[in-house]
Amino acid sequence: MGVTLADILGARAVIRGIADGTPFVPSPFMSTLAGQEFFLKLETMQPIGAFKLRGAVNAVAALPRDVAGVTCCSTGNHGRGVAYAAARRGIRAVICMSRLVPQAKVEGVRALGAEVRIVGESQDEAMAESLRICAAEGLVEISPFDDARVIAGQGTVGFEMMEARPDLDTILVPLSGGGLAAGVAVAAKTVSPTIRVIGVTMDRGAAMAASLHAGTPVEVREVASLADSLGGGIGLGNRLSFPLCRALLDDAVLVTEEEIRDAMQMLYFEDRIVAEGGAVVGLAAVHSGKVRAGGGPLATIVTGRNVDMSLFTRIIAGQDVTIGDRTVRGRAYAA
Ligand SMILES: *Cc1c(COP(=O)(O)O)cnc(C)c1O
């Protein structure tokens, strides 16, 4: 259905030595909390600080030799991955982002030599600009999630996890457009059909969760969140990531801003890992009691580390942080 294990194994060969082989480590603290072994897949260790490099490298590698360049819309990390992959190939990259994208992420894209266009107040507006440029300037558009090569690239994360621990019972996947969840679910369920794959996202403005609930892609108003990487629509004409998530995800769980804050603190204090809000939602789901361990080991993908460091240090210090229209109250960390 759209993307198969064979596509993921193909991607694995393409990204080898560039975007693969991140650490997969047990978290003793999370294991105690969950009452089962709990593993972290540290995509924070990717050269761009997020898993998105996998899909981007796989998609860019497939472009024809004479391609003029690439464009995409992004909440920050896909743009960074595409910029990195385009720079390696020596082609032009134009990255469209909305005003909701944090400055730290915009700078990260720029530092890789890509052209940046800031347009509108939502990922959907950035997407419209990306499609316009693609026609006007002869560039190839690379969707952050609704692209078979991107999904296959992201699926390599799941394959690496299953290779290390084929006995995993549950994988918790941060969920936005669903490219990661779709790829991971294809890999994991092909290897182990009984495994649970659960998408986790924020409780405000999560388009995939709302679409799964509605049974068809729907639009949701995008709002600022600590999990900024999880914002944005899935496209009303979604072809691949929605049907795959609908067929393969066992559940979609929502976590609050406070639960995301707690999980960022927990991962930092207990495991000494710096991660962005969107990356810790799998831990938040277990910490909040919204997901319970089944009969075997659990794992989550710590998807990225590209957080604004002044925001991160405020959260760690237990200070209030203002995200868009709302303040998340500070709270000192307590195990
Ligand atoms: C993009 C992203 C996600 C979600 O991936 P999708 O394929 O859009 O569902 C999760 N975490 C981080 C850090 C991301 O950048």
- Mark whether 194 and 271 lie in a shared domain: yes
Query: Contact, 285 vs 198, CB < 8 A?
Result: yes
The preferred substitution site among 229, 245, 264, 276 for testing ligand 1, maximizing ligand atoms within 8 Å of CB, is: 229
The preferred substitution site among 176, 208, 245, 306 for testing ligand 1, maximizing ligand atoms within 8 Å of CB, is: 176
Instruction: State the pLDDT at residue 315.
Output: 98
pLDDT tens, position by position, 130-188: 999 998 999 999 999 999 999 999 999 999 999 999 999 999 999 999 999 999 999 99
Gap from CA of 35 to ligand 1 centroid (Å): 27
- List of long-range contacts for 137-141, beta carbons under 8 Å, 24+ apart: 137/68, 137/69, 137/71, 137/94, 138/68, 139/68, 139/69, 139/70, 139/71, 139/92, 139/94, 140/63, 140/67, 140/68, 140/69, 140/70, 140/71, 141/70, 141/71, 141/72
Q: In this model, does residue 2 exceed pLDDT 70?
A: yes
Token pair 């393409």 is found at 14
Residue 319: burial class (beta carbons within 10 Å; 0-12, 13-18, 19+) = middle
Q: In this model, does residue 286 exceed pLDDT 80?
A: yes
- Mark whether 256 and 154 lie in a shared domain: yes
Comparing 27-31, 124-128, 152-156, 251-255, the range with the smallest average pLDDT is 124-128
Instruction: State the closest ligand 1 atom to the C-alpha of 180, by its place in the atom list counted from 1.
Output: 7
- Mark whether 10 and 136 lie in a shared domain: no
Instruction: State the closest ligand 1 atom to the C-alpha of 174, by its place in the atom list counted from 1.
Output: 10
pTM above threshold 0.75:
yes
- Mark whether 33 and 122 lie in a shared domain: no
Instruction: State the pLDDT at residue 1.
Output: 62
Residue 326 CA, distance from chain mean position: 23
- Mark whether 280 and 257 lie in a shared domain: yes
Question: Closest Cα to residue 111, out of 304, 306, 302?
Answer: 306
Residue 335 lies inside a defined structural domain of this protein: no
For residues 222-245, average pLDDT: 94
Of 141, 158, 186, at which residue does a domain stop? 141
Of 141, 165, 198, at which residue does a domain stop? 141
Closest C-alpha residue for ligand 1 atom 10: 174
pLDDT tens, position by position, 195-223: 999 999 999 999 999 999 999 999 999 88
Could you tell me which residue, 281 or 125, shows the higher pLDDT?
A: 281
Token pair 């603290």 is found at 29
- Mark whether 117 and 240 lie in a shared domain: no
Q: In this model, does residue 96 exceed pLDDT 70?
A: yes
Question: Closest Cα to residue 280, out of 307, 251, 260, 298?
Answer: 260
How many domains would you assign to the chain? 2
Separate counts of helices (H) and strands (E) for the chain: 13, 12
Residues lining ligand 1, Cβ inside 6 A: 50, 52, 77, 144-145, 154, 174-181, 229-230, 276, 278-279, 303-304
Q: In this model, does residue 332 exceed pLDDT 90?
A: yes
Closest C-alpha residue for ligand 1 atom 1: 229
Instruction: State the pLDDT at residue 222.
Output: 86
Gap from CA of 175 to ligand 1 centroid (Å): 6
For residues 79, 81, 82, 84, the Cα torsion angle rounded to the nearest 10 degrees is 120
Distance, CA of 257 to CA of 249 (rounded, Å): 23
Instruction: State the pLDDT at residue 304.
Output: 98
Instruction: State the closest ligand 1 atom to the C-alpha of 76, by its place in the atom list counted from 1.
Output: 15
* Alpha helices, DSSP H, located in the chain: 5-15, 28-34, 52-61, 77-89, 103-111, 123-137, 148-164, 179-191, 207-214, 241-248, 257-271, 281-287, 309-316
Of 84, 115, 141, at which residue does a domain stop? 141
Question: Closest Cα to residue 15, out of 71, 57, 74, 49?
Answer: 57
The model's confidence at residue 124, banded by pLDDT at 50, 70 and 90, is: confident
- Mark whether 229 and 177 lie in a shared domain: yes
For residues 292-303, average pLDDT: 97
- Mark whether 82 and 159 lie in a shared domain: no
- Mark whether 134 and 161 lie in a shared domain: no
Instruction: State the pLDDT at residue 161.
Output: 98
Distance, CA of 33 to CA of 28 (rounded, Å): 9
The model's confidence at residue 325, banded by pLDDT at 50, 70 and 90, is: confident
For residues 91-111, average pLDDT: 95
Comparing 38-47, 128-137, 150-159, 245-254, the range with the smallest average pLDDT is 128-137
- Mark whether 46 and 76 lie in a shared domain: no
Instruction: State the closest ligand 1 atom to the C-alpha of 304, by its place in the atom list counted from 1.
Output: 13
Instruction: State the pLDDT at residue 122.
Output: 86
Domain that holds residue 68: 52-141
Instruction: Compute the radius of gyration of the chain from its Cα atoms.
Output: 18
